Structure 1
């Protein structure tokens, strides 16, 4: 079993990464995947070998719930 931790090299996570369809051609996006042990991993698409952030399914669900509800809209600059 692989141990996963925040900041580990994203390239060492053996999984299929998914990029948002809203991403632009300039690489302004993040990619996500689920690890074999169930965590959600996030990486910068411009640095696929760089550090990964890992979240529990509960943490990821709370983030998505807040984002869908507009809780973080104030962070977006036009």
Structure 2
């Protein structure tokens, strides 16, 4: 099955979901998994069987670099 935006995360078989070490102990976090084609799936840990959003490696790179650069710090206030 070709991954698509909004597909059930449970249908992404054989992937390893990862979350930040900064996630809280209640499991409220965003999890990411690299897919065989190099794209990255994102899901909400509170709904692990819910929808997954699929991003290209370039889109994830832009997000991570923006976070590291502080471009999203205003969302934490």
TM-score normalised to structure 2 length: 0.93
How many correspondences in the alignment?
A: 76
TM-score normalised to structure 1 length: 0.92
2: distance between equivalents of 1:5 and 1:64?
21
Return the offset for 1:27: 1.8
Matches within 5 A, 1:1-78: 2-14=1-13, 15-77=15-77
1: distance between equivalents of 2:46 and 2:74?
24
Which structure: greater strand fraction?
2
Return the offset for 1:65: 0.5
What are the Cα deviations for residues 18-76 of structure 1, in whole angstroms up to 9, with x where unaligned?
Answer: 11111101222011001111110000001000000111000000000000000000011
Q: Which segments of structure 1 move beyond 4 Å, counting only runs of 4 or more? A: none
Unaligned segments of structure 2, at least 5 residues: none
Unaligned segments of structure 1, at least 5 residues: none
